[in-house]
Amino acid sequence: MYKVKGADNNEYGPITADQVRQWIRENRLNRQSLVENVDAPGWKTLGEFPEFADILAPSAPAFAGAVPVSASAGYSIPAADPVAVAATLKLPAILLIIFGVLGLLLTLAGPFLKKFWIETELHMFEQLNVPLPPESRSAMEAAASSGFQAMDAFFMALGLTANSVILAGGLKMRKVQSWGLCLAAVILMMLPCGGFCCCIGLPLGIWMTILLNKPEVKSAFR
């Protein structure tokens, strides 16, 4: 088992040799990274460990998502513990899943509720004493009685696609996988075609976007 020391002097680990090799392959560690074997205390550069000589490149580049360190140190560390990142993403992942499922259900029910929503909107205008132009009222009444139209099919397909992406993004975020898909799901959640309630989806989406773009979170994705 091994530990890694960051530029902030925080220790990461203990982790297995296989995990060390994975981080080397992901360019999160290079030969100048400070590492300690827990069975033989004492910090050394990774390049001093013969068990990793076969995988270490002559000069491994620093991973873009890693926490930068001083130029003199010349090493980078894993941005965060994947387990801790998974815990941080648990709530936003669950919210995405809820949005996706509810969005799919409402999209499927849309054609059957069209008449109800239009009549509710007309009733609301009457209760608020808001004058509605006769042509607008006629158009809304015609839409309420028109049944399932080609435009309804288009918006249903759009909604099903968007909410399927939102649901898939939530499931992937729960596993800390597919960062791009997760970001796309969050963006769709903020849009009227994806989120079943834009006034809720927009602030939550902004929060999730900021969270996903934190270096320590982004670097933990597989």
Confidence of residue 80 (pLDDT cuts 50, 70, 90): low
Could you tell me if 91 and 72 lie in one domain? no
Decide which of 45, 79, 113 is a domain's last residue: 79
Cα 172 to Cα 77, 90, 194: the distances in Å are: 24, 11, 17
Q: What CA–CA distance (Å, rounded) separates 194 from 162?
A: 5
Q: What is the CATH number of the domain that holds 46?
A: 3.30.1490
CA distances from 208 to 55, 99, 135, 178 (A): 36, 13, 42, 15
Residue 74 gets the label, from left (phi > 0), alpha (psi -120 to 50) or beta, of left
pTM (2 decimals)? Answer: 0.55
Q: Kindly state whether residues 198 and 173 are assigned to the same domain.
A: yes
- How many structural domains is the chain composed of? 2
Q: Which of 45-54, 89-98, 144-153 has the lowest mean pLDDT?
A: 144-153
Higher pLDDT, 136 or 91: 91
pLDDT at 119 over 70: yes
Q: What percent of the chain is modeled with pLDDT above 70?
A: 83
pLDDT tier at 98, thresholds 50, 70, 90: very high
Query: What pLDDT, in 10s, does the model give residues 154-204?
Result: 888 998 999 999 999 999 999 999 999 999 999 999 887 554 555 788 889
Q: Compute the mean pLDDT over every residue in the chain, rounded to the nearest whole number.
A: 80
Give the domain extent around 47.
2-79
Shared-domain flag, residues 171 and 213: yes
pLDDT at 217 over 70: yes
Dihedral in degrees, nearest 10, Cα atoms 67, 79, 25, 61: -10
* Average pLDDT of span 35-55: 88
CB atoms within 10 A of CB 162: 24
Q: Which of 34, 53, 79 is the last residue of a domain?
A: 79
- Expressed in angstroms, the distance from the first to the final Cα of the chain is 22
